Amino acid sequence: MIKMNKLKKCRREIKFELSKAEYLVAKNRIALLLDCDKNAGKAAGKDGYFVRSIYFDDLRETAFTEKVNGVFDRRKFRIRTYNNDLGFIKLECKEKFNRWISKKSARIDEKACESLLNCDFPVSFANEEGVLKEFYFAAKESGLRPVIGVDYYREAFIYPASNLRITFDRQLRASCLSEFAIVKPKEKEEFSVPAYHNDSVVMEIKFDDFMPEIVRAVIPYETGKPLAISKYRMCMSIRKALKI
Protein backbone atom coordinates (compact mmCIF):
# COMPACT_ATOMS: atom_id res chain seq x y z
CA MET A 1 0.00 0.00 0.00
CA ILE A 2 1.20 3.51 -0.85
CA LYS A 3 1.20 5.87 2.12
CA MET A 4 0.74 9.59 1.78
CA ASN A 5 3.79 11.70 2.59
CA LYS A 6 2.65 15.04 3.98
CA LEU A 7 5.73 16.71 2.51
CA LYS A 8 4.70 15.81 -1.03
CA LYS A 9 2.91 18.36 -3.15
CA CYS A 10 -0.56 16.91 -3.65
CA ARG A 11 -3.44 18.14 -5.77
CA ARG A 12 -7.07 17.30 -6.33
CA GLU A 13 -8.15 15.81 -9.63
CA ILE A 14 -11.73 15.61 -10.90
CA LYS A 15 -12.68 13.97 -14.19
CA PHE A 16 -15.72 14.09 -16.44
CA GLU A 17 -16.63 12.21 -19.59
CA LEU A 18 -18.20 14.66 -22.05
CA SER A 19 -20.12 14.19 -25.24
CA LYS A 20 -18.88 16.20 -28.22
CA ALA A 21 -21.66 18.76 -27.66
CA GLU A 22 -20.82 19.11 -23.94
CA TYR A 23 -17.15 19.47 -24.81
CA LEU A 24 -17.82 22.31 -27.24
CA VAL A 25 -19.97 24.17 -24.70
CA ALA A 26 -17.42 23.73 -21.90
CA LYS A 27 -14.44 24.65 -24.08
CA ASN A 28 -16.11 27.83 -25.37
CA ARG A 29 -16.89 28.94 -21.81
CA ILE A 30 -13.41 28.12 -20.54
CA ALA A 31 -11.70 29.90 -23.44
CA LEU A 32 -13.48 33.12 -22.40
CA LEU A 33 -12.44 32.94 -18.75
CA LEU A 34 -9.14 31.02 -18.59
CA ASP A 35 -5.82 31.40 -20.36
CA CYS A 36 -4.51 28.81 -22.76
CA ASP A 37 -1.48 27.03 -21.33
CA LYS A 38 1.28 28.80 -23.26
CA ASN A 39 3.84 26.06 -22.58
CA ALA A 40 1.49 23.50 -24.07
CA GLY A 41 0.45 25.76 -26.91
CA LYS A 42 3.89 26.43 -28.41
CA ALA A 43 3.83 23.34 -30.61
CA ALA A 44 0.12 22.59 -30.49
CA GLY A 45 -1.98 22.24 -33.62
CA LYS A 46 -5.67 22.81 -34.13
CA ASP A 47 -6.44 19.60 -32.20
CA GLY A 48 -4.14 20.52 -29.30
CA TYR A 49 -0.83 18.86 -28.57
CA PHE A 50 -0.15 15.16 -28.98
CA VAL A 51 0.54 13.13 -25.84
CA ARG A 52 1.93 9.60 -25.90
CA SER A 53 2.28 7.67 -22.66
CA ILE A 54 3.64 4.16 -22.28
CA TYR A 55 2.61 2.61 -18.98
CA PHE A 56 4.48 0.01 -16.95
CA ASP A 57 2.95 -2.64 -14.74
CA ASP A 58 4.31 -5.64 -12.91
CA LEU A 59 3.78 -9.33 -13.63
CA ARG A 60 0.65 -9.37 -11.45
CA GLU A 61 -0.71 -6.24 -13.16
CA THR A 62 -0.97 -4.58 -9.76
CA ALA A 63 -1.58 -1.06 -11.07
CA PHE A 64 -4.44 -2.24 -13.29
CA THR A 65 -5.98 -4.50 -10.66
CA GLU A 66 -5.84 -1.86 -7.93
CA LYS A 67 -7.60 0.62 -10.20
CA VAL A 68 -10.31 -1.88 -11.10
CA ASN A 69 -10.82 -2.74 -7.42
CA GLY A 70 -10.93 0.90 -6.36
CA VAL A 71 -7.90 0.80 -4.07
CA PHE A 72 -7.55 4.30 -2.58
CA ASP A 73 -3.73 4.46 -2.37
CA ARG A 74 -1.88 3.35 -5.49
CA ARG A 75 0.76 4.35 -8.03
CA LYS A 76 1.74 3.81 -11.63
CA PHE A 77 4.83 4.52 -13.75
CA ARG A 78 4.89 5.79 -17.32
CA ILE A 79 7.10 7.29 -20.00
CA ARG A 80 5.58 10.38 -21.61
CA THR A 81 6.37 12.45 -24.69
CA TYR A 82 4.72 15.49 -26.24
CA ASN A 83 4.33 16.04 -29.99
CA ASN A 84 6.79 13.17 -30.59
CA ASP A 85 9.64 15.34 -29.34
CA LEU A 86 12.43 12.88 -28.56
CA GLY A 87 14.39 15.72 -26.99
CA PHE A 88 11.84 15.96 -24.20
CA ILE A 89 11.01 12.58 -22.67
CA LYS A 90 9.86 12.15 -19.09
CA LEU A 91 9.68 9.21 -16.72
CA GLU A 92 6.80 9.80 -14.33
CA CYS A 93 5.28 8.26 -11.23
CA LYS A 94 1.69 9.22 -10.49
CA GLU A 95 0.44 8.39 -7.01
CA LYS A 96 -3.09 8.61 -5.69
CA PHE A 97 -3.98 9.00 -2.03
CA ASN A 98 -7.75 8.69 -1.81
CA ARG A 99 -8.89 11.97 -3.41
CA TRP A 100 -5.40 13.47 -3.72
CA ILE A 101 -2.79 12.95 -6.42
CA SER A 102 0.94 13.54 -6.58
CA LYS A 103 3.18 13.35 -9.63
CA LYS A 104 6.95 13.03 -9.75
CA SER A 105 8.94 13.18 -12.97
CA ALA A 106 12.46 13.23 -14.36
CA ARG A 107 13.83 13.92 -17.83
CA ILE A 108 15.46 10.99 -19.60
CA ASP A 109 17.17 10.84 -22.99
CA GLU A 110 16.17 8.72 -25.97
CA LYS A 111 18.78 6.04 -25.21
CA ALA A 112 17.50 5.60 -21.64
CA CYS A 113 13.95 5.54 -22.93
CA GLU A 114 14.74 2.72 -25.36
CA SER A 115 16.46 0.79 -22.57
CA LEU A 116 13.42 1.02 -20.31
CA LEU A 117 11.09 -0.08 -23.10
CA ASN A 118 13.34 -3.13 -23.60
CA CYS A 119 13.26 -3.86 -19.84
CA ASP A 120 16.94 -3.02 -19.58
CA PHE A 121 16.98 -0.84 -16.49
CA PRO A 122 20.15 1.27 -16.08
CA VAL A 123 21.98 0.52 -12.85
CA SER A 124 22.86 4.22 -12.67
CA PHE A 125 19.21 4.92 -11.78
CA ALA A 126 19.85 3.29 -8.40
CA ASN A 127 22.25 6.08 -7.53
CA GLU A 128 19.85 8.84 -8.54
CA GLU A 129 17.21 10.46 -6.38
CA GLY A 130 13.46 10.70 -6.77
CA VAL A 131 11.50 8.87 -9.45
CA LEU A 132 14.52 7.36 -11.22
CA LYS A 133 15.63 5.52 -8.10
CA GLU A 134 12.06 4.61 -7.17
CA PHE A 135 11.38 3.20 -10.64
CA TYR A 136 14.60 1.18 -10.71
CA PHE A 137 13.92 -0.66 -7.46
CA ALA A 138 10.23 -1.15 -8.27
CA ALA A 139 11.24 -2.65 -11.62
CA LYS A 140 13.76 -4.99 -10.02
CA GLU A 141 11.51 -6.04 -7.15
CA SER A 142 8.22 -6.54 -9.00
CA GLY A 143 9.18 -7.04 -12.64
CA LEU A 144 7.87 -3.86 -14.23
CA ARG A 145 7.54 -3.92 -18.01
CA PRO A 146 5.73 -1.79 -20.61
CA VAL A 147 2.14 -2.98 -21.07
CA ILE A 148 0.15 -0.39 -23.02
CA GLY A 149 0.50 2.79 -25.05
CA VAL A 150 -2.05 5.57 -24.52
CA ASP A 151 -2.31 8.32 -27.14
CA TYR A 152 -4.49 11.43 -27.31
CA TYR A 153 -4.64 15.10 -28.20
CA ARG A 154 -4.86 17.55 -25.30
CA GLU A 155 -6.03 21.14 -24.95
CA ALA A 156 -5.04 22.86 -21.71
CA PHE A 157 -6.23 25.98 -19.88
CA ILE A 158 -4.90 27.56 -16.68
CA TYR A 159 -6.07 29.96 -13.97
CA PRO A 160 -3.91 31.36 -11.14
CA ALA A 161 -6.28 30.71 -8.21
CA SER A 162 -5.37 27.39 -6.55
CA ASN A 163 -3.10 26.63 -9.53
CA LEU A 164 -6.15 25.54 -11.54
CA ARG A 165 -5.64 23.57 -14.75
CA ILE A 166 -8.40 22.23 -16.97
CA THR A 167 -7.63 19.88 -19.85
CA PHE A 168 -9.61 18.20 -22.62
CA ASP A 169 -8.28 14.88 -23.92
CA ARG A 170 -9.61 13.85 -27.33
CA GLN A 171 -9.09 11.07 -29.89
CA LEU A 172 -7.99 8.63 -27.21
CA ARG A 173 -6.38 5.51 -28.65
CA ALA A 174 -4.82 2.36 -27.21
CA SER A 175 -1.58 1.01 -28.67
CA CYS A 176 -1.56 -2.74 -28.17
CA LEU A 177 1.86 -3.89 -29.34
CA SER A 178 4.08 -6.55 -27.85
CA GLU A 179 6.96 -4.13 -28.46
CA PHE A 180 6.73 -0.41 -27.75
CA ALA A 181 8.45 2.62 -29.22
CA ILE A 182 8.00 6.35 -29.36
CA VAL A 183 6.56 6.85 -32.86
CA LYS A 184 4.74 9.44 -34.91
CA PRO A 185 0.92 9.31 -35.09
CA LYS A 186 0.80 8.52 -38.82
CA GLU A 187 3.11 5.54 -38.27
CA LYS A 188 0.97 3.99 -35.56
CA GLU A 189 -2.56 4.17 -36.94
CA GLU A 190 -2.38 0.57 -38.14
CA PHE A 191 -1.71 -0.89 -34.72
CA SER A 192 -3.74 1.35 -32.41
CA VAL A 193 -7.47 1.28 -31.76
CA PRO A 194 -9.84 4.01 -30.56
CA ALA A 195 -10.90 3.87 -26.92
CA TYR A 196 -14.17 5.60 -27.74
CA HIS A 197 -16.46 5.18 -30.74
CA ASN A 198 -18.70 8.16 -29.97
CA ASP A 199 -16.27 11.12 -29.95
CA SER A 200 -16.31 11.30 -26.14
CA VAL A 201 -13.86 13.68 -24.48
CA VAL A 202 -12.22 13.39 -21.04
CA MET A 203 -12.19 16.65 -19.11
CA GLU A 204 -9.80 16.84 -16.15
CA ILE A 205 -9.83 19.56 -13.51
CA LYS A 206 -6.76 19.84 -11.26
CA PHE A 207 -6.26 22.28 -8.41
CA ASP A 208 -4.37 22.64 -5.13
CA ASP A 209 -6.22 23.50 -1.93
CA PHE A 210 -9.66 24.54 -3.13
CA MET A 211 -11.78 24.52 -6.27
CA PRO A 212 -12.13 28.09 -7.58
CA GLU A 213 -15.70 29.27 -8.01
CA ILE A 214 -14.99 29.98 -11.65
CA VAL A 215 -15.05 26.23 -12.31
CA ARG A 216 -18.76 26.05 -11.57
CA ALA A 217 -19.36 28.64 -14.27
CA VAL A 218 -17.68 26.63 -17.01
CA ILE A 219 -18.95 23.10 -16.38
CA PRO A 220 -22.13 22.37 -18.39
CA TYR A 221 -24.98 21.57 -16.02
CA GLU A 222 -25.78 18.48 -18.09
CA THR A 223 -22.36 17.00 -17.35
CA GLY A 224 -23.43 15.19 -14.19
CA LYS A 225 -21.23 13.82 -11.44
CA PRO A 226 -17.46 13.32 -11.69
CA LEU A 227 -16.34 9.86 -12.74
CA ALA A 228 -13.40 7.66 -11.77
CA ILE A 229 -12.03 7.68 -15.31
CA SER A 230 -8.63 6.16 -16.01
CA LYS A 231 -7.21 6.30 -19.52
CA TYR A 232 -4.76 3.59 -18.49
CA ARG A 233 -7.53 1.28 -17.32
CA MET A 234 -9.62 1.92 -20.43
CA CYS A 235 -6.79 1.12 -22.80
CA MET A 236 -5.64 -1.92 -20.82
CA SER A 237 -9.20 -3.24 -20.91
CA ILE A 238 -9.15 -2.90 -24.69
CA ARG A 239 -5.90 -4.84 -24.90
CA LYS A 240 -7.35 -7.60 -22.74
CA ALA A 241 -10.51 -7.73 -24.83
CA LEU A 242 -8.40 -8.08 -27.97
CA LYS A 243 -6.27 -10.72 -26.19
CA ILE A 244 -3.00 -9.13 -27.29
pLDDT digits (tens, 9 = 90+) for 174-197: 987 655 666 544 554 447 889 887
Q: Tell whether 190 is covered by a domain.
A: yes
Task: Enter the DSSP assignment of 45.
Answer: B
- Residue-level pLDDT at 39: 64
Q: Tell whether 6 is covered by a domain.
A: no
State pLDDT tens for residues 12-60: 999 999 999 989 989 998 999 899 987 665 555 667 899 999 999 999 9
Q: 99-114 as b/e, with b when 16 or more CB fall inside 10 Å?
A: eeebbbebebeeebbe
- Residue-level pLDDT at 239: 85
Q: Tell whether 4 is covered by a domain.
A: no
Please answer whether residues 63 and 57 qualify as being in contact, where contact means their C-beta atoms are separated by less than 8 angstroms. yes
What confidence category does residue 70 fall into, taking pLDDT thresholds of 50, 70 and 90? confident
Please answer whether residues 157 and 166 qualify as being in contact, where contact means their C-beta atoms are separated by less than 8 angstroms. yes
Beta-carbon count within 10 A of 46 CB = 6
Q: Where are the beta strands (DSSP E) in the chain?
A: 11-18, 35-36, 49-57, 73-82, 89-97, 100-108, 145-159, 164-175, 192-194, 201-207
Q: Tell me the CATH number at 203.
A: 3.20.100.30
Kindly report the CA angle at 92 between 44 and 176, in degrees rounded to 5? 75
Q: Tell whether 228 is covered by a domain.
A: yes
- Residue-level pLDDT at 37: 87
Nearest to 201 by CA among 54, 25, 66: 25
Taking all residues of the chain, what is their mean pLDDT, rounded to a whole number? 86
What confidence category does residue 66 fall into, taking pLDDT thresholds of 50, 70 and 90? very high
The domain tally of the chain equals 1
Query: What domain range includes position 175?
Result: 11-242
Q: Taking the CA of residue 203 as centre, how many other CA atoms within 13 Å lie in the half-sphere pointing to its CB? A: 24
Residue 41, beta-bridge partner list: none
Please state, for a pLDDT cut of 70, what percent of the chain lies above it.
Answer: 85
Q: Tell whether 142 is covered by a domain.
A: yes
Q: Tell whether 3 is covered by a domain.
A: no
Q: What is the mean pLDDT of residues 155-183?
A: 85
Q: What is the mean pLDDT of residues 222-232?
A: 79
